[in-house]
Amino acid sequence: MSEERKAKGAVINGYLKFVKKTYGAKGLEDCKAAIGIDPSTIKDGLWYEDAINDRIFTWLEETHGFSAVEKASRYTTKDLGLMSYIVRFVNVKRILKEFPKNYQTLFDYGTLEVEFIDDNNAILRLYDGATSKYSCPAWMGAFYGALEMTKTKGSVEETKCQFKGADHCEFKISWEG
């Protein structure tokens, strides 16, 4: 793990695309001013300080409420370019199996584990991944986004939170089918 936590620009750009799509060009300009960076300088494949995500989440919460954080993560998970098209033909179980590997390509800190309880339930554990009060709502949004991408009805429940004192964050995902 690096001393300064980093995230790929694709994650940051996903959140900024959500801001523009949901709140328009004015919303993007306001967010840009609040986070102190020019979005055009963020390149998908490069690493940036993960704190940029928290600045975006702070702006979202202050201007549109805490639920906007989860909505931004749902959108970002579903808006992964070609992958969002391909996963429509894959079941949610396959997507969840790939989450740990995908996590490592987007973040340089923490680890994500997936344990399948049965054919319709899984536990996801994120170690050293809670960086702020926005972490768990953002991850819940990402996991709901995976359900939505695969057109799967289901639910996500936060069962533990590292930011609230647990040794890791944990989510139970249940789905039909």
| pLDDT score at 82 | 43
For the question of whether the overall pTM of this predicted structure is more than 0.85, the answer is yes
Using DSSP's 3-state secondary structure scheme, residue 1 falls into coil
Do 61 and 139 sit in the same domain of this protein?
Answer: no
Map tokens 């340089």 to a residue: 108
> Domain ends where: 78, 100, 128?
78
Do 93 and 53 sit in the same domain of this protein?
Answer: no
Helix ranges, the chain (H): 9-35, 51-64, 67-78, 82-86, 92-106, 135-149
Which domain range does residue 11 map to?
6-78
- The pLDDT tens digits of the residues spanning 74-127 come to 999 887 644 554 555 578 898 898 889 989 999 999 999 999 999 999 999 999
- Mean local confidence (pLDDT), 21-50: 95
**Is the residue at 58 inside a domain?**
yes
| pLDDT score at 40 | 92
| pLDDT score at 70 | 96
CB 147 within 8 A of CB 153: yes
- Mean local confidence (pLDDT), 115-141: 94
φ/ψ of residue 115, rounded to 5: -125, 120
C-alpha distances out from residue 85 to 24, 79, 81, 95, 132, Å: 24, 9, 7, 13, 31
Write the DSSP symbol of residue 165. T
Residue 150 confidence (pLDDT) above 90: no
Do 73 and 94 sit in the same domain of this protein?
Answer: no
